[in-house]
A and B are shown apart, each in its own frame.
Chain A
Amino acid sequence: MYLSSVSRPVSDPPDAGPRRRRLALVSGNVVALGTVSLITDISAEMVAAVLPLYLVLGLQLSPVAFGVLDGVHTGATALLRVVGGFVADRFRRRKLVAGVGYALSAVAKLGLLLAGRSVPAIGAVITVDRLGKGVRSAPRDALITLSTPPEALGRAFGVHRAMDSVGAFLGPLAAFAVLLVVGQSYDAVFVTSFCLAALAVVVLVLFVRERPTGTAADGPDEPRVSVREAFGLLRSRPTRRLLLAATMLGLATIGDGFVYLVLQRREDLGLRWFPLLAVGTSLAYLVLAAPLGVLADRIGRLPVVVGGYVALGATYLLLSGPAHGWPALALTLALYGAFYAATDGVLIALAGPVLPPRLRTTGIALVQTGQALAYLVSSVLFGLAWQAWGPQTAVRVAAVAVVGVLVVTVLLLASPFRPAPRKVSP
């Protein structure tokens, strides 16, 4: 079942070892995690697709009430993500912590049934769902890095993210299929979604392994990771650079909502076609994730990440440039999808080997938290720029920001493995 055998410490630099021919496929653990993500994403997107219908037509809630539901507790999610990552490292139970995250989201689907028309209860259920999502992603990505030799990480994340987005693609279709069969019974969608989420947990329990056998780095004799050691991550220069770069890159991202809004306005698209913009982007993401992951293993992860942000900058330029019409629209969405494909998994593939295996979940959680907070800040900043200068200028400013951030990122990450950098830190 498991195709890879990791025979050397995974903390080796990715360009140090000889390439291995037998790594033509990804490890069984990655396939298992990809399957779990695929099923979970069908489940999650089913609910996401019908939630507006349910809240507005089923429960007759008003938009402001829905805005309350949207009060994302970003701070709490961020904290819990890091704490979850640390617990996973300390007790070497990454699978367990990931499993708890998946189970929380599964239970939340049933919670929607029980919440009825109570807005606070629905808000609480949605929060639980997001907490589950926050808790599971770092240990899941850590498991992927720990089950894959460093030189094949790009491919592994590419395959995982592609499977993940297939699920996201199928979710809305599944939801509408259920509604087609049962009429306006949203409950049936929630129950179906719960059953899928539960199946994903079963697959995780049976097929995902805590870690491949025979890796020395955190065998049973190793001392446990302490809080102090976790904080030590922040004192390590490569980790700090990585965190800084990931956060800066997050700041250059204005967010899907804004991209689609600008696109819809400038192309004067019928509002009904609006949801298709996201579909176009995820299609490009789905198709490109695996090939770009493989490319990252061949030519290096940093060049692919840089390429991804170049694609993002080009997306912004197209958004504010003179080209109009369907070809320009398709190119914009393709570039935007390529940006995701070249950065989402590849950045973690880049980060993984920099982080010590003992603290990898904590480290990945920190990277993801830094990015999540940066997204929040950048969307607020972009909103302000829009108010001050209007959408076109705001997007051009964002394009300039991409270039600036990219230069800093390359300077930060081009040599994170040099043993003792001579430079005086700025």
Chain B
Amino acid sequence: MSAMSTRAKLGVVAASAVLLASVAAGYAAIAAEPARTPPPAAAGDQAVTLAPGPRLLAITDRYVSSVATADPAGPRTVSGLECLRVYAAAGTGVCLRPETAWSYQVVVLDAALHQKRTLSVPGLPNRARVSASGRMVSWTTFVGGDSYTASGFSTRTGILDTVTGATVTSLEEFAITRDGRGYRSPDVNYWGVTFTADDNHFYATMATGGERYLVRGDVAARTVETMRTNVECPSLSPDGTRIAFKEAIDADPTKGWRLSVLDLASGRVTATAETTSVDDQAAWLDDATLAYTLRQSDGRPDVFSVPADGSGTPRLLIPGAESPSPLT
């Protein structure tokens, strides 16, 4: 190398730069997504509505759509609303969607999918829920790099009362009772809220010190208390007696999750017949059936359903869809 003149070296660097730049540009040209297709016009004579009825809400190819409960794999009605997560109940919807290329917002929707309220949120959309009455709305996002492990990941979970307009931007503001005693820690994270019928209490996952707890919270009192460990993404049944959740196998999330159901009165946990690892907050289609998203190896989603009592077998419900929600 020492024999090369500076001029020759600069030449080699310039040639390398040109070569590498064309590799990058060439790859980008091949990999670039085709321009986004405009949202398909609503099929048939009806638009997507959140009014209660025998339909299921879901996201297909980034757009909010609905299918008939009786024929979920059949024709779908697709709206022009682009969301990463959606959920609805009693005519109120919540949609987590892109605001700009790198920021996201929570949108509260009325039955006709009109925006009632928008909130900018930090991080990337993860979970969204609406209480059964349609009054309370919650969301969870991932926020990169602000955990104290420097490159760690943390979550932010917020709650909005659509009647009073009161907003909790992060559950981390709530006082914690862990195993009967007051607790605080910088590494507390919450995700996956599910509301009870009184529109004040809720269940959620709280993670701290390497443990993941099921917590029961009180919005008015701004408190949470731990109930048990290894419960993630709780989802309360319509009758309020059971919680569907994902249970880390051997309490180790690296081994995947088993979709399970906790009976609140007895504390008994029943594993469902779904043996594939489920990484989703399940939705109750009725008091006996759960719906959830599974992903194929290339990341494409499908919505499956399985009986909540551990019987039966999983069934492909809505092919090519994610974020299922019954319109109740």
Seen from chain A, the residues whose Cβ lies within 8 Å of a Cβ on chain B are 1, 48, 51-53, 56-68, 70, 72, 116-117, 119, 176, 178-185, 187-188, 191-192, 195-196, 198-199, 202-203, 205-207, 255-258, 260-261, 264, 270-272, 274-275, 278, 379, 382-383, 386-387, 390-391
Chain B nearest Cβ from A4, distance in angstroms: 16
* Binary flags per residue of B174-209, CB closer than 8 Å to A gives 1, else 0: 000000000111110101000000000000000100
Write out the residue numbers on chain A whose beta carbons fall within 8 Å of the beta carbon of B101: 176, 179-180
Question: Taking A176-B102, A192-B28 as contacts, is the C-beta distance between A63 and B126 under 8 angstroms?
Answer: yes
Is B152 part of the contact surface with A, judged by Cβ < 8 Å?
A: yes
B148 to chain A: closest residue by CB: A257
B9 to chain A: closest residue by CB: A206
Is B163 part of the contact surface with A, judged by Cβ < 8 Å?
A: no
* Binary flags per residue of B247-283, CB closer than 8 Å to A gives 1, else 0: 0100001100000000000000000000000010000
> Is there an interface contact between A182 and B31, defined as CB atoms closer than 8 Å?
yes
Q: How far is the CA of A419 from the CA of B23 in the complex (A)?
A: 57
> Is there an interface contact between B299 and A274, defined as CB atoms closer than 8 Å?
no
> Is there an interface contact between B149 and A257, defined as CB atoms closer than 8 Å?
yes
Binding site secondary structure of chain A? helix
* Binary flags per residue of B206-237, CB closer than 8 Å to A gives 1, else 0: 01000010000000000000000000100000
Question: Taking A52-B142, A66-B153 as contacts, is the C-beta distance between A195 and B24 under 8 angstroms?
Answer: yes
Checking B170, B279, B299 against A271 with a beta-carbon cut-off of 8 angstroms, the contacting residue is B170
> Is there an interface contact between B122 and A59, defined as CB atoms closer than 8 Å?
no
Checking B144, B146, B185 against A260 with a beta-carbon cut-off of 8 angstroms, the contacting residue is B146
Jot down 10 A-B pairs with beta carbons below 8 A, ordered by A: A52-B145, A56-B142, A64-B248, A65-B253, A67-B253, A184-B33, A187-B27, A258-B186, A261-B186, A274-B122
Write out the residue numbers on chain B whose beta carbons fall within 8 Å of the beta carbon of A271: 121-123, 143, 156, 169-170
> Is there an interface contact between A182 and B149, defined as CB atoms closer than 8 Å?
no
Is B1 part of the contact surface with A, judged by Cβ < 8 Å?
A: yes
**Contact size range, B:** 35 or more
B253 to chain A: closest residue by CB: A64
* Binary flags per residue of B118-154, CB closer than 8 Å to A gives 1, else 0: 0011111110000000000000001111111111111
Which of B10-18, B44-52, B72-80, B306-314 lies on the face that meets chain A?
Answer: B10-18
Most buried by A among B24, B32, B155, B184: B24
> Is there an interface contact between B148 and A272, defined as CB atoms closer than 8 Å?
no
> Is there an interface contact between B28 and A70, defined as CB atoms closer than 8 Å?
no
* Binary flags per residue of B273-315, CB closer than 8 Å to A gives 1, else 0: 0000001000000000000000101110100000000000000
Write out the residue numbers on chain B whose beta carbons fall within 8 Å of the beta carbon of A53: 102, 124
A390 to chain B: closest residue by CB: B184
B102 to chain A: closest residue by CB: A176
Chain B nearest Cβ from A298, distance in angstroms: 32
